[in-house]
Amino acid sequence: MKFTGISGYDHLFNFVIPKSRKEPERVLQAINRPTRETALSFINAWTDTRQTRPSESKAFAMLNDMEQPVSGNVIDAFRNYQIRPVPWSGRAQVVPELAA
């Protein structure tokens, strides 16, 4: 899905789940190699587009932790920007929230 941010630049996101009766819009980005650089890229994209989306929208970073553990610094960076980090190994925990 492509959203234009307040900067005027377009940002691509992997999945957008529309608002339901129970949950607001949910934006998901799959990150195969969660590093400082990939985290900052998604944080920048979300921060730029957040003001153009409904105020209650939520962002999720789906993180590949199958080959190596995700750094605590990457997890903390997402949390600091109200982006929910979801390790792939823990994806079942967010299914109810994403499916609602």
Give the residue numbers spanning the domain of 16: 2-99
Q: What is the pLDDT of residue 40?
A: 97
Q: Are 53 and 69 in contact (CB under 8 A)?
A: no
| Each residue's pLDDT tens digit, 23-68 | 999 999 999 999 999 999 999 999 999 999 999 999 999 999 998 9
| Each residue's pLDDT tens digit, 86-98 | 999 999 999 999 9
pTM over 0.75: yes
Q: What is the pLDDT of residue 22?
A: 93
| Each residue's pLDDT tens digit, 74-85 | 999 999 999 999
Average pLDDT over every residue of 11-27: 96
What domain count does the chain have?
1
Q: Are 59 and 29 in contact (CB under 8 A)?
A: yes
The answer on pLDDT for 100 being more than 90 is: no
- Written as one letter, the residue type at 94 is V
Q: Which CATH number is 28's domain given?
A: 3.40.1350
> Using alpha carbons only, what angle is made at residue 3 by residues 83 and 1, rounded to the nearest 5 degrees?
85
